[in-house]
């Protein structure tokens, strides 16, 4: 029976989450609710970047770029047809298309994933911080292209007045799906290939792992969830601009992964909650005391301290013992 225990605990957590969502939606005001939504989206981002960055060791700063692609695709697909023709010059078949949220989100994620495939095929030959620099270049290129492709994106103005479709009943299932997929990957043979690539590429290659294919897969899966998160994000704040998805955001997500412990799903999840809640606490402080930037300074300081004193992150690379009987080798 012991083997099934983690599964039951998981189910328990999911039910607890549902209870939490139901409770929160009936008690808390709009503002707190939107913060909880943001926290949820950040957990999707951190857990999905953890697949790319944590499991496989591909240090990608391109996550907000994939979010931007997913966000814009989803936004254009859900935009009411009547207003679409006013703002945008789209090809006829997209102009007359108005999708419901779920297919739009999925398509946004798929487009982000395809873009990851397209950019990953050449760029994933690079290693270490050269890959980081190349993905950062990708992020900046995406921003420039979105800013200038005015017929589809309205350029720097961005798309606003999007239908406010995102609520906790959308965010929460995606959090669960992201964690579930990520968990299944980590404890599958495919996930083991990813982890072994992170530890020692040469050894991984020697035991017959297809390095390139595994790395591309890690990037594409991470990008898919980033795209979905972008779509959720856009429909939460009901607007999307090219500057919404910046390098600062890439940095924040990386901080979450590093603070949580590179490769640890529960670490990424908890760190995402801590970091985004802290940021939200700092925001009113910044506005009231007129000390803009103090939140970022604080985050950066935390990161440096953790890199110096606890480089393995708060939770190491493993998962808590009660959740898994399979990772005793930590």
Partner 1 sequence: MSGGYIAQQIVNGFILGSMYALVAIGFSMIYGIIRLINFAHGDVVMIGAFLTLGLLQIIGAPFPLVAAVVLIAGALVGILIEKGAFRPMRGAPQVTGFIASLAVSIMLQNLGVLILTAQPRNFTFPEYLQKVLHIGHVSFRVVDLVIMLSALGLMCALLLLVNKTKLGMAMRATAENIDVARLMGININRTIMATFAVGSALAGIAGLMWGGKFGQIDPLLGFVPGLKSFVAAVIGGVGSIPGAIVGGYILGVSEVLFVGLLPPIYSAYRDAFVFSTLIVILLILPNGIFGKRSEERT
Where along the sequence are the contacts to partner 1 (CB under 8 A)? 59, 122-123, 125-130, 132-134, 136-138, 140-141, 144-145, 147-148, 248, 251, 254-255, 258, 291-294, 296-297, 299-301, 303-304, 307-308, 311
Q: In the complex, what is the shortest distance from the CB of residue 291 to partner 1, in angstroms, rounded to a whole number? A: 6
Which of residues 12 and 128 has its CB atom nearest to partner 1 in the complex?
Answer: 128
Q: In the complex, what is the shortest distance from the CB of residue 265 to partner 1, in angstroms, rounded to a whole number? A: 20
Q: In the complex, what is the shortest distance from the CB of residue 294 to partner 1, in angstroms, rounded to a whole number? A: 6
Q: In the complex, what is the shortest distance from the CB of residue 42 to partner 1, in angstroms, rounded to a whole number? A: 17
DSSP reduced 3-state for 87: helix
Nearest to residue 233, comparing CAs of 42, 20, 33? 42
Nearest to residue 37, comparing CAs of 177, 223, 228, 166? 166
Q: In the complex, what is the shortest distance from the CB of residue 281 to partner 1, in angstroms, rounded to a whole number? A: 16
Which of residues 61 and 175 has its CB atom nearest to partner 1 in the complex?
Answer: 61
CA distances from 126 to 130, 148, 178, 214, 319 (A): 6, 28, 27, 14, 29
Which of residues 65 and 108 has its CB atom nearest to partner 1 in the complex?
Answer: 65
Which of residues 177 and 291 has its CB atom nearest to partner 1 in the complex?
Answer: 291
Between CA 239 and CA 233 the distance in angstroms is: 9
Q: In the complex, what is the shortest distance from the CB of residue 238 to partner 1, in angstroms, rounded to a whole number? A: 25
Which of residues 11 and 301 has its CB atom nearest to partner 1 in the complex?
Answer: 301
Which of residues 85 and 151 has its CB atom nearest to partner 1 in the complex?
Answer: 151
Q: Tokens 């970091």: give the residue.
A: 275
Please report the DSSP string for 199-257 in residue order. H-HHHHHHTT--HHHHHHHHHHHHHHHHHHHHHHHHHHHTEE-GGGS-HHHHHHHHHHH
Which of residues 177 and 301 has its CB atom nearest to partner 1 in the complex?
Answer: 301
Between CA 328 and CA 330 the distance in angstroms is: 6
Q: In the complex, what is the shortest distance from the CB of residue 179 to partner 1, in angstroms, rounded to a whole number? A: 24
Q: Which two tokens stand for residue 62?
A: 């391109």
CA distances from 54 to 123, 131, 154, 257, 264 (A): 18, 14, 36, 7, 7
Report the alpha-carbon angle 213-217-223, nearest 5.
Answer: 145
Give, as one character, the DSSP assignment of residue 96. Answer: T
């Amino acid at each position: 029976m012991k083997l099934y225990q983690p599964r039951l605990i998981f189910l328990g957590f999911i039910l607890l989450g549902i209870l939490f969502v139901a409770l929160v939606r009936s008690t808390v005001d709009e503002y707190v609710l939107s913060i909880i939504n943001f926290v949820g989206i950040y957990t999707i981002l951190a857990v999905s970047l953890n697949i790319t960055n944590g499991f496989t060791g591909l240090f990608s700063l391109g996550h907000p770029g994939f979010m931007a692609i997913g966000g814009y695709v989803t936004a254009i697909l859900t935009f009411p047809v009547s207003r679409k023709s006013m703002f945008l010059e789209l090809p006829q078949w997209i102009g007359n298309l108005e999708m419901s949220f779920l297919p739009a989100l999925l398509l946004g994620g798929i487009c982000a994933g395809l873009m990851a495939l397209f950019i990953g095929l050449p760029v994933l030959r690079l290693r270490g911080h050269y890959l980081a620099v190349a993905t950062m270049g990708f992020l900046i290129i995406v921003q420039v292209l979105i800013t200038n492709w005015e017929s589809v994106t309205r350029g720097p103005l961005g798309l606003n007045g999007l239908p406010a479709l995102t609520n906790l009943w959308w965010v929460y299932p995606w959090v669960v799906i992201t964690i579930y997929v990520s968990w299944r990957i980590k404890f599958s043979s495919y996930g083991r290939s990813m982890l072994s690539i992170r530890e020692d590429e040469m050894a991984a290659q020697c035991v017959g792992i297809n390095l390139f294919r595994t790395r591309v897969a890690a990037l594409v899966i991470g990008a898919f969830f980033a795209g979905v998160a972008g779509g959720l994000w856009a429909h939460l704040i009901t607007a999307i601009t090219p500057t919404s998805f910046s390098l600062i955001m890439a940095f924040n997500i990386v901080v979450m992964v590093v603070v949580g412990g590179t490769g640890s799903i529960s670490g990424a999840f908890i760190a995402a909650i801590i970091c985004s809640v802290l940021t939200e606490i700092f925001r009113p402080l910044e506005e009231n005391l007129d000390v803009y930037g103090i939140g970022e300074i604080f985050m950066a300081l935390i990161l440096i301290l953790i890199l110096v004193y606890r480089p393995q992150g708060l939770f190491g690379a493993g998962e808590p013992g009660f959740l898994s009987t399979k990772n005793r080798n930590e």
